[in-house]
Amino acid sequence: MKIRLINPNTTVRMTEVMGACARAVAAPGTQIDAVSPRDGPPSIEGWYDESLALPGLLAEIAAGERDACDAYVIACFGDPGLYAARECARGPVIGIAEAAMHAASVIAPSFAVVTTLARTCGMAWHLAERYGMKRFCKNVRATDIAVLDLDQPGSDARRLIIDECRRALDEDGAEAIVLGCAGMVDLCHAIEDAIGAPVVEGVTAAVKWAEALVSLKLATAKRGEYAAPLRKPYDGALAPWSPSGGGR
């Protein structure tokens, strides 16, 4: 089984950490292909970043189809381009926010999301509503840590995230925590040990979900909304992306 884990930003060091954590939970025989686009934003911290990350993300989906990948994980908590990717892929495509919120709702009656910048809180609430998770989500809390500062030497990120998780448990009544950034993937177990409550991060949750769907021989539906993009020529600079021209 081959799963392509796509970090939609261009920061390779972050992609490598995600890949290592994904491989640590993957079943024997599962190949994790961790990639990031060559072109795009170095981090995704708003709607503008997310929009400009989509061409690179979809190019990685197209490359995965040529490489016969069985499933895909979109490793950004905004789940950018999730539905477009499902149009382009034969196998399952899982967003990490989608995976983490569903996993948390199974192991606890409520959860809180602890994320990076305050400006992304609305994006997390939007996803909770889209996925039917709003009734489980007690709050979305920001640490105001920039994504690229999460792994910087000397960063106070871990302490700030742990403090916010504790506040979510004590003040919001949450019974589990969802980490709201793929860049927090390697902090999950340390945070869980510190706060004494379940902590779910979406990269590994999405990998296991993708494995399960592939093992069940389930593929993406292609009769209607997730059918392949309609074949038509695009204009100007987007001409190479035309479905009729095979995309990139």
Residue 246: the pLDDT is 44
d(CA 11, CA 234): 29
Q: Is 46 left (phi over 0), alpha (psi -120 to 50) or beta?
A: left
**CA nearest to 96, candidates 111, 112, 74, 113:** 74
Residue 247: the pLDDT is 47
In terms of residues, how long is the chain?
248
Domain range summary for the chain, segments of one domain joined by +: 2-96+204-245, 97-201
Residue 117: the pLDDT is 95
The model's pTM: 0.94
Blockwise average pLDDT, block size 10, the chain, 248 residues: 98 96 97 96 96 96 97 98 97 98 98 96 97 98 91 83 97 98 94 97 98 97 94 91 65
Within a 13 Å sphere around the CA of 23, how many CA atoms are in the beta-carbon half?
A: 10
d(CA 234, CA 137): 40
d(CA 194, CA 160): 12
Same fold, 2-96+204-245 and 97-201: yes
Question: For 210, phi and psi rounded to 5 degrees?
Answer: -60, -45
Q: Which fold has domain 2-96+204-245?
A: Rossmann fold (3.40.50)
Amino acid type, 215: S
> Are the C-beta atoms of residues 100 and 147 closer than 8 Å to each other?
no
Residue 64: the pLDDT is 97
> Are the C-beta atoms of residues 206 and 95 closer than 8 Å to each other?
yes
Residue 127: the pLDDT is 98
Q: Which fold has domain 97-201?
A: Rossmann fold (3.40.50)
